[in-house]
């Protein structure tokens, strides 16, 4: 399994955790194209915070790497890494590589 | 005791923390604590971590271990703090750096990591440490008091940000207690300070644990963003 696949699985685990508290019509699909942020997202700001926290914990548990996803760089990207599950996975992949190569 | 509640206490290996560790393990908590060095005591159901409270990596590793080994966190007592008595005109930046790193950055880091763990159970109690030096505007304590004023502000805003997660955030502002923190302060300075309290005596450890007990009891789920200054300050 590649790092990106492991990260996607961790994100799906995080989605499962966040879905527990979401109403049935707002639950997130475990798919790379699921929109997390901006138009088309069913998450409110607190829901996105919950998902990011859960994602960091799952990455730590599954890959033994402690990352901070919502850093200044993430916030200043022209294309938000929080747009979909896949864009978030790609951004986490970069953070994990930087952390493991440091 | 896999189902017993878990508490984190930050701070030095001596003084109030040794008392708090014993007090809360006796009450049935599993307690994790930290300081730069090892402790000079061994208490059942206490686990010690050696770290710098302002180091993000160290603190994250501690909470990873707590999540892995305990699986829950019920209360955080953010006691770690350093004081420095000096006139502002004579205060070096190295002191400013040290005070703010421990008192503010450390408090923030532990609040953040604790809340991340607490929110999974939709329950948590955070108690930060303020000081009477802030409302008393003590001369010679400009940096210490202002770092703790920042802790009060942090407490009040985190209380709002974390309310939806079932987490309360409060602070206790102790009066002087006879610990290492005040050993270098002249006696007349301490007497003058104590004379400004409504109840004129040194604080005891039990005064602090009493205020903490109030904040962390389950019935206090409607108490958040508050600071209790001891001694009637």
Residue entry with tokens 């008392």: B19
DSSP state of A84: B
Rounded distance between C-alpha atoms, residue B4 and residue B68, angstroms = 15
**Portion 69-108 of B in contact with A at CB < 8 A:** none
Cα separation, A96 vs A3, whole angstroms: 9
CB of A84 less than 8 A from some CB of B:
no
> Does ipTM surpass 0.85 in this model?
no
Please say whether the beta carbons of B35 and B13 come within 8 A: yes
Residue A12 has pLDDT above 90, yes or no: yes
Contacts of B95 (CB under 8 A, 6+ apart): B84, B86, B143
Beta-carbon contacts of A78 under 8 Å, excluding residues fewer than 6 positions away, are none
Q: Do A46 and B57 touch (CB under 8 A)?
A: no
Torsion region of A11: left, alpha or beta (phi above 0 gives left; psi -120 to 50 gives alpha) = alpha
Domain extents in chain B: 6-232
Residues of B in contact with A57 (CB under 8 A): 67, 116
Tell whether A19 is within 8 A of chain B (Cβ).
Answer: no
Q: Which CATH number fits domain B6-232: 1.50.10.20, 1.10.3720.10, 3.40.50.720, 3.20.20.80?
A: 3.40.50.720
Tokens at residue B156, please? 């009040």
Q: What angle do CA A82, A88, A94 make, to 5 degrees?
A: 125
Pairing of strands B30-35, B46-50: parallel
Q: Which of A50, A67, A69 to mutate to test the interface with B (most CBs of B within 10 A)?
A: A50
The pLDDT-based confidence of A97 (bands split at 50, 70, 90) is: very high
Q: Evaluate if residue B1 carries a pLDDT over 60.
A: no
The fraction of chain B above a pLDDT of 90, given in percent, is 79
Q: For the segment B11-56, what is each residue's pLDDT rounded down to a tens digit?
A: 866 678 889 999 999 999 999 999 998 888 889 999 999 999 999 9
Q: Which residues of A touch B116 (CB under 8 A)?
A: 53, 56-57
Q: Which domains does chain A have, with CATH numbers?
A: 3-101 (1.10.1200)
**Cβ-defined contact of A57 to B57 (cutoff 8 Å):** no
């Amino acid at each position: 399994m590649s790092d990106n696949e492991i990260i996607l699985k961790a994100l799906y685990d995080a989605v499962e955790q966040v879905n527990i508290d979401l109403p049935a019509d707002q639950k997130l699909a475990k798919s790379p194209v699921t929109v997390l942020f901006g138009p088309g997202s069913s998450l409110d700001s607190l829901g996105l915070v919950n998902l990011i926290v859960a994602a960091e914990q799952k990455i730590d548990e599954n890959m033994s790497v402690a990352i901070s996803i919502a850093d200044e760089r993430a916030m200043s990207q022209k294309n938000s890494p929080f747009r979909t599950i896949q864009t978030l996975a790609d951004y986490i992949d970069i953070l994990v590589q930087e952390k493991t190569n440091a | 005791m896999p189902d017993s509640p878990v508490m984190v206490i930050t701070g030095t290996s001596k003084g109030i923390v040794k008392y708090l560790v014993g007090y809360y393990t006796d009450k049935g908590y599993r307690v994790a604590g930290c300081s730069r060095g090892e402790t000079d005591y061994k208490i059942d159901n206490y686990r010690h971590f050696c770290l710098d409270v302002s180091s993000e990596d160290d603190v994250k590793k501690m909470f990873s271990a707590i999540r892995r080994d305990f699986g829950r966190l019920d209360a955080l007592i953010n006691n770690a703090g350093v004081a420095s008595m000096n006139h502002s005109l004579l205060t070096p930046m190295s002191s400013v750096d040290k005070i703010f790193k421990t008192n503010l950055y450390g408090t923030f880091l532990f609040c953040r990591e604790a809340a991340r763990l607490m929110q999974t159970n939709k329950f948590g109690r955070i108690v930060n440490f303020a000081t009477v030096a802030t409302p008393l505007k003590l001369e010679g304590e400009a940096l210490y008091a202002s770092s703790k004023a920042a802790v009060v502000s942090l407490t009040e805003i985190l209380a709002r940000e974390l309310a939806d997660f079932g987490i309360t955030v409060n602070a206790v502002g102790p009066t002087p207690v006879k610990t290492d923190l005040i050993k270098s302060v002249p006696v007349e300075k301490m007497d003058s300070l104590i004379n400004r309290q409504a109840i004129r005596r040194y604080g005891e450890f039990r005064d602090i644990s009493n205020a903490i007990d109030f904040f962390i009891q389950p019935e206090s789920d409607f108490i958040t963003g508050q600071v209790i200054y001891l001694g009637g300050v």
